[in-house]
Structure 1
Amino acid sequence: MEKKIVCEVSKCLQVKNVKISMEENKVIVEAGDKKTVGFACGILNLVRSHKSNLEGSSTLEKCLTHDWLTYCSTDLFRCQTFEAFNGCLQRINEALMTCSCLCGYSVTIADVVVFLALHPFIAKWSFLQKEQYMNISRWFNFMQNNDLLCKTHSLVQFSRTLLYEGTNRMH
């Protein structure tokens, strides 16, 4: 999964002359004259050389970006069961409860990576599943319209109609 996501990130960032490989279960990224080992380091190498603002604009955002990249590598990409994946989704959903993006209020590479990882799953979700993870759905709908992502990934439909009779909640 790590190699696939790094490849997708390099396409989104339009990085030229990048070599991505696996060695001893670690992703190796060679971009320009830099070689990095490890998922988070490889992603940050691509970002710093092409779109440095995606790392975060403040020290807090940068720390949160690093934290989410590590979380992806150690937890999200390693889910072996539905329960483990559901736990990851719950953590992401809770993190998005109080802010519009994973690291605050502006898009970082952490948002891009999580979007790329979740896209194949969310594209298959029913409207009921999308409603179950409302914060992820709101964030995902925002992210899929991002200039980096809208050209390379299919749009996922989100319902704007009332799903259940008798409820006063608007969608």
Structure 2
Amino acid sequence: MMALCNVECVEKIGSFLEINYGKLSTNESGRVTTVTELHGNSETISGFGTIVISWAKMCKKSQFGKTQEDEALVRQWIEYAVCYGNYVGLAQTARQVLKELNAVLALRSYFVGSSQTLADIVLYYVLHGVMAELSYQEKEQYLHLSRWFNNIQQDPKIRQKNKLVHFSRTLLYS
């Protein structure tokens, strides 16, 4: 099984947040860990979601939306990424996760609120490999998710060195 909430994913999120994240590793149970300097003290933080949320709180710009409810929803989406994101490398699970995310995005442009949040950033990095491997026909089955993904990846700061995922501009299948 391919873990998608891994060190590489956390590094990309850290780069996007412009955090000096130091050394990342995985512990014996496979959890991502880092040692972070907070207020002059070294602190070991472990777990994908815990690290990402801690870093976002240290970041100068808000990544949690506009309200406390938005922040709670961002945290829930990060937990969703941890719970399900590590299994989207498995075909049957990937279809279910992509179907769920597509349904959520049917009536909205972003996962939380009306602008991009940490939830969008995390889900972009977790899903990039899966979206890149989908055929044009498969991407069209997840039209709302594909629209969201294509929108997010257009920002070079977010995309970083990730390969641009191409989407068909015309409907190939009906």
Normalised by the size of structure 1, how large is the TM-score?
Answer: 0.85
Structure 1 portions without partners, runs of 5+: none
Distance in 1 between residues matched to 2:76 and 2:162, nearest whole Å = 25
Distance in 1 between residues matched to 2:170 and 2:122, nearest whole Å = 30
1:80 Cα offset (Å): 6.6
Q: Which has the higher contact order (CA 8 A, sep 6+)?
A: 2
Number of equivalences: 165
Deviations 1:26-63 (A, max 9, x none): 22233332432222110011111124411222112111
The reply to whether residue 159 of structure 1 matches residue 168 of structure 2 is: yes
Aligned residue for 2:97? 88
Alpha carbons of structure 1 residues 74 and 138: separation in structure 2 relative to 1, 3 Å? same
Question: Is the 1:12–1:152 contact (alpha carbons within 8 Å) kept by the matching residues of 2?
Answer: no
Aligned residue for 1:30? 35
Q: Which amino acid aligns with 1:63?
A: A
Distance in 1 between residues matched to 2:131 and 2:66, nearest whole Å = 29
Structure 2 portions without partners, runs of 5+: none
Question: Is the 2:102–2:142 contact (alpha carbons within 8 Å) kept by the matching residues of 1?
Answer: yes
Aligned residue for 1:43? 52
Question: Is the 2:19–2:59 contact (alpha carbons within 8 Å) kept by the matching residues of 1?
Answer: yes
The reply to whether residue 145 of structure 1 matches residue 150 of structure 2 is: no
1:111 Cα offset (Å): 0.8
Distance in 1 between residues matched to 2:88 and 2:170, nearest whole Å = 33
Distance in 2 between residues matched to 1:17 and 1:80, nearest whole Å = 27
Distance in 2 between residues matched to 1:46 and 1:10, nearest whole Å = 7
- Provide the aligned C-alpha RMSD in A: 2.0
* Sequence identity (%): 27
